[in-house]
Chains A and B, each alone.
Chain A
Amino acid sequence: MNNKTISARQFMYLVILFLIGSSILIIPGPLAAGAKQDGWISAILGTVIGILLVHLYHKISITIGNKTFVEAAIDIFGNWFGRIISFFHLSFIYILAALVLRNIGDFMTTQMMVETPLQYTHILFLLVVILGARLGIETIGRSAEMFITWMIILLVFLFLSLTPQLDINNLKPMFGSGLRSITSTSLTVIGTPILEMVIFLMIYPQVKEKSKAKHAWLIGLLIGGGFLTLITLFSILVLGSDLTALNEYPIYELATKINIAGFLEGLEIIVAIVWMLTIFFKLVILYYASSLGIAQFLKIDDYRILLLPLGMGMVVLSIIAYPDVAYFESFVNSTWLPYATMHGFVLPLLLLIGAIIKKKKQESGRSRK
């Protein structure tokens, strides 16, 4: 049905962009609020746990063979139960996509265009995403290859130009907030974005070089997690943990602090560009995965006819998903982690167990004959 493929390298880029997208602005605040000056250690901890998750996801994907999550679930658990599991998986992706869309809307209306109504930002952004998803995974992979350079250049430029403002005292006392609060805060990173990586199970079959794919996923995770750690670290180093936690978008605030020799100022837009680029890729991956999954769920040959109707639904869902930013903050802090654990860990585990049992049965059946 869809035999387009991406290379392992492109897959790695997608993982990096996916991890940084939307987390770059959301993550530093809660981390600094939870673990104070040790928030960056929590980010490292979250990434380390991500390594274990990638091993699990890879294990699943070789067990289910060259199938997406939805195909495999229907194959293993049968038409009904398999579809129920797929439904939950797809709803997770779809809701996550709507939330990510809302993130960009909230950011634009908070920081840049205060008077513009949310839905117009959403519609405009989503139209580009739909175009991207329509062109398929091959195009997405190749454009990721092009844009990742820009993202890295801009982020490195941001970091370098902030070096005069760094105050190492902001990190002391190290481990002062206690091991317990460091570990409990790392759950925030595990919820957003580490567990969200489960959606790559919809794309993984399309990665060409299977032998390199796992390696690419791990490297992508380390680079993406590394950038998240650096961003948190720099926020704390420049603003201090208190102001990092106080700001809705600390990294944007960080960029306002850039002042090179008194003339290079007002570079906030760098952050906005990085944010737009990464969130575009995160959204296009989510959108592609969910429409592909829904097409497989409904046994539709071409996922592309679903793109427009799903988009209309997503604009509405992104508006009604939560009433205000305060609701979203408490949602991210308390609801999201169990929700993401359910869909990013428990369901895949169930699938893996099912797949192993089925394989054993087939093997024993074969040997009996």
Chain B
Amino acid sequence: MKGIRYFWGKSRLILIMFSYLIFLSGCWSSRELDELGIAVALGIDKTEEGTYSLTVQIINPSEIAAEKATTRPPVTLYKAEGETLFEAIRKMTKKAPRKIYFSQLRLLILGQSLAEEGVLPALDLLYRDAEFRTSFFMTIAKNASVEDILSVITPYEKIPANKIMDTITAAQENWAATEGVYIDQVISDIRSTGKSPVMTGILLNGSEDTGNSIKNIESPDAPTRLEIDHLSVFKDDRMLGWLNEAESKGYNYIVGNVKNTLINFPCKEEGSGKIGVEILRSNAAIDAKLKKGKPVISVEIEAEGNVGEVECQIDLSKPETLQMIEQKTEGDIKDKMQLSVKAAQEVYKSDIFGFGNAINRKEPNYWKKVEKEWNAHFVETDVEFDVKVNIRRKGTNVQPVQKEG
């Protein structure tokens, strides 16, 4: 009797261990690297029939890893159409050799016609599906079709999607006329009543015929290139138009996106010389208050910079000169912000700065009253600017190299 119990005690443990083996051997839902087509860029547009047309840029792992240069392109494009986005993605398996894997996606390009029609329906899948992470930039194809942009082969960086992502990051950090926005930011802006989204545009510079051939990267000056353009303005989820460079910069000053940029202005009223100021950091604060029952937005900017370039003869050793430069820089920043607000209020009538949210934070009771027709109020809202620039240094030279006369 004791023997049986002993045996049962031991064998039960073994049974449990065996049952583990059954489950472990299968690796359900496993995904092997050589079975996946890794997508780095996704382009979405609407066809004339109203269906979605999808273009996916997939990396060719053997080309990326190859040590010697090959003649095959580093990426492959696949296209499909479908009534829904998901259908188009699944239909792609008819053409692609592998199932497409979206976790490494770096870039989403929306066609202009889709953007003008409304992007929210297309975004649901991208935010719902567990395979999509949120770390890809949202952009809009400005002057070419999504497909043309995605087929450009880029010099320097092998994977075009990575090139665009890096360019957006670099341009945002050093030039500040653009902004890399992520999908959750866009969705949150569209859903919020107090802010409208913006997105970066992508320009195709050159001819699409040369861009999609490996010849494009055979000469140092590639004939067809991809460029990051300025910001597009949305109202709800529909694109209305584009800001120009100054307006885009003004937008970035207001929302506090400017990390590093350059400001130019002439030394004197007359003459050709110019002064360039490098802005190193800036802080923005948007505040709202009620004056006589009407909201007034005040935007406060504090920036720090260096004298970067001086083309004329001025006495840089005098503190007054630096003060003059500070004032002119402040004026330039203020002008750009005013241009930006003017464009948003008069041309597009869309609150891309989040002034509505600022009012909600400060005056929630007033906000509840105007929330529903905020866009109508936004157009009439007064905006005050207060810019303070500190120029601390002037580089390695005491005086301009320019000689008198």
Contacts and interface: CB of A to CB of B under 8 A. Distances in A.
B364 A116 contact: no
A41 B187 CA distance: 25
SS class of chain A's interface: helix, strand, loop or mixed? helix
A124 B192 contact: no
B357 A169 contact: yes
Interface string A29-56: 0000000000000000000000000000
Contact of B130 (A114, A176, A240, A265): A114
A124 B28 CA distance: 13
22 contacts: A110-B130, A111-B130, A112-B130, A113-B28, A127-B16, A127-B19, A131-B16, A169-B361, A172-B362, A173-B361, A173-B364, A176-B360, A239-B188, A240-B188, A240-B192, A242-B188, A242-B192, A243-B188, A246-B127, A253-B134, A256-B135, A266-B133
A116 B357 contact: no
Contacts of B156: none
Interface string B110-140: 0000000000000000010010011100000
B281 interface: no
* Residue from B184, B187, B360 with most neighbouring chain A CB atoms (10 Å): B184
A120 B25 CA distance: 13
A266 to B, nearest CB: 7
Contacts of A124: 20, 23
Given A123-B23, A172-B362, 17 more contacts: A112-B29, A114-B130, A115-B28, A115-B29, A127-B19, A169-B357, A173-B362, A239-B188, A240-B188, A242-B188, A243-B187, A246-B127, A246-B191, A253-B134, A256-B134, A265-B135, A266-B133
B135 to A, nearest CB: 7
A257 interface: yes
A124 B360 CA distance: 49
B188 A257 contact: no
Given A116-B28, A127-B19, A173-B361, A256 B133 contact: yes
Contacts of A115: 28-29
A243 B184 contact: yes
Contacts of A110: 130
Interface string A159-170: 000000000010
Nearest to B360: A173
A181 interface: no
A161 to B, nearest CB: 14
Interface string A199-228: 000000000000000000000000000000
A36 to B, nearest CB: 11
Kindly list the 8 A-B residue pairs having the minimum CB-CB distance in the complex, ordered from nearest.
A172-B361, A113-B29, A173-B364, A116-B28, A176-B364, A115-B29, A116-B29, A111-B130
A178 to B, nearest CB: 10
B235 to A, nearest CB: 18
A242 B191 contact: yes
B402 to A, nearest CB: 40
Nearest to A130: B16
Interface in A242-258: 242-243, 246, 253, 256-257
Interface of A: 110-116, 120, 123-124, 127, 131, 169, 172-173, 176, 239-240, 242-243, 246, 253, 256-257, 259, 265-266
B92 to A, nearest CB: 18
Nearest to B182: A257
Contacts of B361: 169, 172-173
Interface residues on B, range: 20 to 34
Interface in B1-47: 16, 19-20, 23, 28-29
A171 to B, nearest CB: 9
Q: Which of B23, B191, B361 has the largest count of A CB atoms less than 10 A from its CB?
A: B361
Nearest to A262: B169
Main SS of the interface on chain B? Answer: helix
A169 B354 CA distance: 11
A102 to B, nearest CB: 18
A240 B19 CA distance: 45
Interface string B360-394: 11101000000000000000000000000000000
A174 B360 CA distance: 10
Nearest to A173: B364
B28 A120 contact: yes
Contacts of A114: 29, 130
For A111, A242, A265, the residue with the greatest tally of chain B CB atoms inside 10 Å of its CB is A242
A262 to B, nearest CB: 9
A113 B30 CA distance: 8
Contacts of B360: 172-173, 176
Contacts of B362: 172-173
A356 B335 CA distance: 79
A120 B23 contact: yes
Contacts of B188: 239-240, 242-243
A116 B133 CA distance: 20
Given A112-B130, A243-B188, A127 B28 contact: no
A212 to B, nearest CB: 37
A111 B128 CA distance: 10
A172 B184 CA distance: 19
Interface centre among B19, B130, B192 (most CB of A within 10 A): B130
A253 B128 CA distance: 11
Interface string B337-369: 000000000000000000001001110100000
A265 B357 CA distance: 30
A113 B131 CA distance: 10
Nearest to B26: A120
B100 to A, nearest CB: 15
A257 B19 contact: no
A256 to B, nearest CB: 5
A256 B192 CA distance: 22
A167 to B, nearest CB: 11
Contacts of B130: 110-112, 114
Contacts of B364: 173, 176
A176 B362 CA distance: 10
Contact of A239 (B133, B184, B192): B184
B201 to A, nearest CB: 24
A140 B19 CA distance: 23
Contacts of B184: 239, 243, 253, 257
Nearest to A121: B28
A110 to B, nearest CB: 6
A242 B357 CA distance: 13
A131 B17 CA distance: 11
A123 B23 CA distance: 10
Contacts of B192: 240, 242
A176 B357 CA distance: 13
B198 to A, nearest CB: 17
A246 B127 CA distance: 10
